[in-house]
């Protein structure tokens, strides 16, 4: 499970690294010392859990949560102050750990994490010509993977565009990304996955991002963080 540590104190981040070291099923994919850095790391690594300090230098952990879309990682607060506990659970935090963090208390929080809905065994990857079943209300389709041109995140749901149809399905965009063939699909930004086979044009956009137009007319912004990987993927 991918984890991000957010704390403005280096010693606190190092201590969390030490405490998490025995749990081999947790992969620490990054650290951040501010809300701005945390948002960048989340977009880059898509962690499934964030160990989040509340009081940082200029902003607090709640501001990070407010800046995230409806689909966000599990949040485990790590703080020296107990007065924020009620507010933490109001924003659906998984747990609230007081510093200095006791190993036994961390163990309990990680047990909750393992039981959470996002911690599931990996599913088999799909291939280009596989057929998948989708249902939206009373409508059902069997669709080949290569007919899908765009997927957009809608919280715990995903809006899938294919042929001249679209379907809202109860799957997160991250879970779909893990199953789709990486040579055909690309995670353009936190909210969208596009099919490389449907690209009509690519132009430079703001802040070193890219604007992609699909043959069907939809436009997708490839984020600054993803633009380099996108260029490398499509270059000779």
| pLDDT 10s digits, 39-64 | 889 888 889 999 999 988 777 888 88
Comparing 84-98, 113-127, 184-198, the range with the smallest average pLDDT is 113-127
pLDDT at 123: 66
Residue 48: closest CA among 112, 98, 113: 113
pLDDT at 150: 98
Q: How confident is the model at residue 207 (pLDDT cuts 50, 70, 90)?
A: confident
pLDDT at 82: 85
Round to whole Å and give the CA distance between 36 and 20. 24
pLDDT at 72: 76
Close Cβ partners of 42 (under 8 Å, ≥ 6 residues apart): 4, 50, 68, 72, 73, 190
Q: Is the pLDDT of residue 236 over 80?
A: no
What's this model's pTM, rounded to 2 decimal places?
0.53
pLDDT at 64: 87
Q: Is the pLDDT of residue 95 over 70?
A: yes
Comparing 88-102, 159-173, 202-216, the range with the smallest average pLDDT is 88-102
Q: Is the pLDDT of residue 118 over 70?
A: no
Q: Is the pLDDT of residue 152 over 90?
A: yes
Residue 159: both structure tokens together:
């809006």
Q: Is the pLDDT of residue 12 over 90?
A: yes
Round to whole Å and give the CA distance between 77 and 8. 13
> Peptide bond preceding 127: is omega within 30 degrees of 0, i.e. cis?
no
pLDDT at 122: 59
pLDDT at 194: 97
Q: Is the pLDDT of residue 214 over 80?
A: yes
Q: What is the DSSP string of 112-155?
A: HHHHSTT--PPPPPP-TT-EEEEEETTEEEEEEGGGEEEEEEET
What is the share, in percent, of the chain residues with pLDDT greater than 70? 95
Close Cβ partners of 51 (under 8 Å, ≥ 6 residues apart): 3, 4, 5, 6, 7, 16, 20, 76, 78
Q: How confident is the model at residue 121 (pLDDT cuts 50, 70, 90)?
A: low
For the chain, how big is the Rg over CA atoms in Å? Answer: 20
Q: How confident is the model at residue 216 (pLDDT cuts 50, 70, 90)?
A: very high
Q: How confident is the model at residue 65 (pLDDT cuts 50, 70, 90)?
A: confident
Close Cβ partners of 164 (under 8 Å, ≥ 6 residues apart): none
Tell me the average pLDDT of the chain: 90
Close Cβ partners of 178 (under 8 Å, ≥ 6 residues apart): 122, 123, 125
In the chain, the domains with their CATH numbers are: 2-115 (3.40.50.2300), 131-234 (2.40.50.1020)
pLDDT at 13: 95
């Amino acid at each position: 499970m991918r984890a991000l540590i957010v704390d403005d104190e280096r010693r606190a981040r190092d201590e969390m690294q030490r405490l998490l070291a025995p749990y081999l099923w947790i992969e620490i994919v990054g650290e951040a010392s501010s809300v701005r850095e945390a948002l960048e790391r989340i977009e880059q690594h898509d962690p499934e859990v964030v160990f989040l300090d509340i009081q940082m230098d200029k902003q607090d952990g709640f501001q990070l949560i407010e800046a995230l879309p409806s689909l966000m990682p599990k949040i485990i607060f790590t703080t020296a102050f107990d007065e924020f506990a009620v507010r933490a659970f109001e924003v659906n935090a998984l747990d609230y750990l007081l510093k200095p963090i006791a190993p036994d208390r961390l163990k309990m929080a990680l047990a909750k994490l393992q039981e959470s809905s996002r911690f599931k065994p990996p599913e088999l990857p799909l291939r280009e010509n596989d057929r998948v079943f989708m249902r939206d209300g009373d409508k059902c389709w069997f669709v080949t993977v290569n007919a899908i041109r765009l997927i957009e995140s809608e919280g715990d749901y995903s809006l899938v565009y294919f042929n001249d149809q679209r379907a809202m399905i109860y799957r997160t965009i991250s879970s779909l990304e893990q199953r789709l063939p990486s040579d055909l699909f690309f995670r353009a930004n936190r909210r969208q996955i596009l099919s490389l086979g449907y690209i009509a044009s690519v132009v430079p956009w703001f802040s070193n991002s890219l604007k992609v137009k699909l043959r069907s007319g939809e436009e997708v912004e490839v984020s600054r963080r993803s633009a380099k990987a996108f260029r490398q993927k499509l270059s000779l």
